[in-house]
A and B are shown apart, each in its own frame.
Chain A
Amino acid sequence: MKKMKVISPILMEVSWVPCSPLRRVRIGPIKVRYRMLLLVFRLSFLSFFPSLSLSQHFAPTRTKPHHRISVSLNLKQRKQREEKRRMMMKLDTSGLESFSAAVPSAMATAEDQLFAPPSFDLPAGCADFDKFQMEAKQTLKHAKGTTTLAFIFNQGVIVAADSRASMGGYISSQSVKKIIEINPYMLGTMAGGAADCQFWHRNLGIKCRLHELANKRRISVTGASKLLANILYSYRGMGLSIGTMIAGWDEKGPGLYYVDSEGGRLKGNRFSVGSGSPYAYGVLDNGYRPDMTVDEAHELARRAIYHATFRDGASGGVVSVYHVGPNGWKKLSGDDVSELHYKYYPVQPTPVEHEMVDAPPA
């Protein structure tokens, strides 16, 4: 029979069985079946560790460091260790008393393996919530991929917007309605999160209607924008992304307000919001005169949005232009920007620099 090394149970219980349990082994003069040996080992082991449950010994064997004899593996300490392991992911553990800290880490992992109940990692945001929140806000910061503009002139307010929705480098839609009709004499523009804008504009429309019913008169643009600004201010820091302009005509004449999810609210005569807004401002500021006709204003707005869509990748699709007059708003036009491009810059025959000519016949 092959000589078998038997390892004393006092030192360590090995993690593998050196031979089949039925095989006869010899310890000195004694010949026993190996499984008898194992039983003897385990029982003697048990005498040293009375608090262990029996199931531990008839389960597959594991490494057991010998000098952890003094460990009393009660429920409290097991929970502490489990807690500590969970907390090791970036949370502050200085206040926690940890048994594993007193013992070299090699032993600690074995201990954890042995006695920890099944556990899982915390979800992505929980360990470091502040960082997660900052990251979420950062991703949303680039989300105002659009160009919208509005300006007041002598004949009312012109509101214009593109219609592209993009998610990073992917164009998800070329036909988004970015001008939201709050009520027949007030318009809102959408920049930022589409869902946020649509929902809160709809909500604002409800509040405006309730105001009309309660007070028997229409709400002013000042009032409507203040309602929206206060709502957005109360959600400040929670990740709403809205950059909107409220344009309308009330008893005081034309009104235009810029409201955003940071809580800012500005009254003004010319605004442009979105990633393409600097480009639109360039054209708009240059061509603006307070005494334009409606047609001139219409063309200025359309041109400004077109130039913004030309230079900004996140803007495109269709330019919609609305006019708000004393009798409410009216949609003036909706033109595809690629068609506008060829209308403004028709293709012209250009001289060819290098012409491929056939070699003249010899």
Chain B
Amino acid sequence: MECVFGLVGKGFAIVAADTSAVNSILVHKSNEDKVMVLDSHKLLGASGEPGDRVQFTEYIQKNVHLYQFRNGIPLTTAATANFTRGELATALRKNPYSVNILLAGYDKGVGPSMYYIDYIATMHKIEKGAFGYGSYFCLSMMDRLYHPDMSIEEAIDLIDKCIIEIRTRLVVAPPNFVIKIVDQDGAREYAWRESIKSPDVSMA
């Protein structure tokens, strides 16, 4: 099942997600990027039904860009989170999206922040969070090992420990993960953790 988790450190926020696209027993793809770069300083890690996930996150991304074009300034992370939650809530009683979201962003003045948004439009501002079967293993580990204002090395170390724990203990463990980071320099891909490399012509 899909695992998305993340945490906030000193001046940055990290979101990690697995990268397998699965259909019942079949793994269609092991390098599907599920953490979307919303704009220069925001990351949106999403898990859920494949159609919903792509369509909803693209919808949020386009609306974030639209705000920036119209108003000349980008949305803050808190505003984006509230907008996302509002869209999920409006659709909930009509045509619900089955997507769980971890939104991470960096704002000047406020610093890094992370929001947990459920598929039924629950929203919380958090320091560390996880979705999926992997959350059963990661949450307690993060509770134990996390402390505020971690450095990048410590945070990546914690993320790696979580990935190793998922691979060890989860029966349908995804083989590959992607880690993305957002700090004052922007949102970017940090690393891939691959245990299965496919001989591909080009990275999909």
Contacts and interface: CB of A to CB of B under 8 A. Distances in A.
A153 B201 contact: yes
Contacts of A290: 199-201
Contact of B26 (A230, A265, A267, A278): A278
A161 B58 CA distance: 32
B50 A264 contact: yes
Contacts of A271: 28
B55 interface: yes
B89 interface: no
A269 B204 contact: yes
A37 B26 CA distance: 83
Interface string B139-150: 000000000000
Interface in B27-70: 28-29, 32, 49-52, 54-55
A154 interface: yes
A271 B52 CA distance: 21
Interface in B176-204: 198-202, 204
B26 A281 contact: yes
B75 interface: no
Interface residues of B, number: 19
Nearest to A233: B51
B193 to A, nearest CB: 20
Contacts of B21: 264, 266
B73 interface: no
A269 B26 contact: no
A269 B25 contact: no
A125 B25 CA distance: 31
A341 interface: no
Contacts of A152: 201
B28 A269 contact: no
Nearest to A230: B55
B91 to A, nearest CB: 13
A270 to B, nearest CB: 8
Contacts of B28: 258, 266, 268, 271
Interface string A152-189: 11100000000000000000000000000000000000
A33 interface: no
B26 A263 contact: no
Interface in A266-310: 266-271, 277-278, 281, 288-290
Interface string A242-268: 000000000000000010101111111
A269 B204 CA distance: 7
Contact of B51 (A258, A264, A269, A277): A264
A230 B23 CA distance: 19
B201 A269 contact: yes
Contacts of A278: 25-26
Interface string B93-111: 0000000000000000000
A263 B98 CA distance: 12
A236 interface: yes
Contacts of B49: 262-264
Contacts of A232: 51
Nearest to B25: A278
A229 to B, nearest CB: 8
B33 to A, nearest CB: 10
B26 A233 contact: no
Contacts of B23: 260, 264
A289 B199 contact: yes
A142 to B, nearest CB: 12
B29 A266 contact: yes
A163 B26 CA distance: 22
A264 B26 CA distance: 14
B204 A267 contact: yes
Given A233-B55, A266-B21, A277 B201 contact: no
A210 B201 CA distance: 32
Contacts of A258: 28
Contacts of A230: 55
B87 to A, nearest CB: 16
Given A152-B201, A233-B55, A268-B204, A263 B50 contact: yes
Given A258-B28, A266-B32, A268-B29, A236 B51 contact: yes
Closest 7 CB pairs of A and B: A263-B51, A264-B50, A290-B201, A269-B200, A267-B204, A268-B29, A233-B51
Given A233-B55, A264-B50, 12 more contacts: A232-B51, A233-B51, A260-B23, A262-B49, A263-B49, A264-B21, A266-B21, A268-B28, A268-B204, A269-B202, A289-B199, A290-B200
Interface of A: 152-154, 229-230, 232-233, 236, 258, 260, 262-271, 277-278, 281, 288-290
Interface of B: 21, 23, 25-26, 28-29, 32, 49-52, 54-55, 198-202, 204
23 contacts: A152-B201, A153-B201, A154-B201, A229-B51, A229-B54, A232-B51, A262-B49, A263-B49, A263-B52, A264-B49, A265-B50, A265-B54, A266-B21, A266-B28, A267-B204, A268-B29, A269-B201, A270-B198, A277-B26, A278-B25, A278-B26, A289-B199, A290-B199
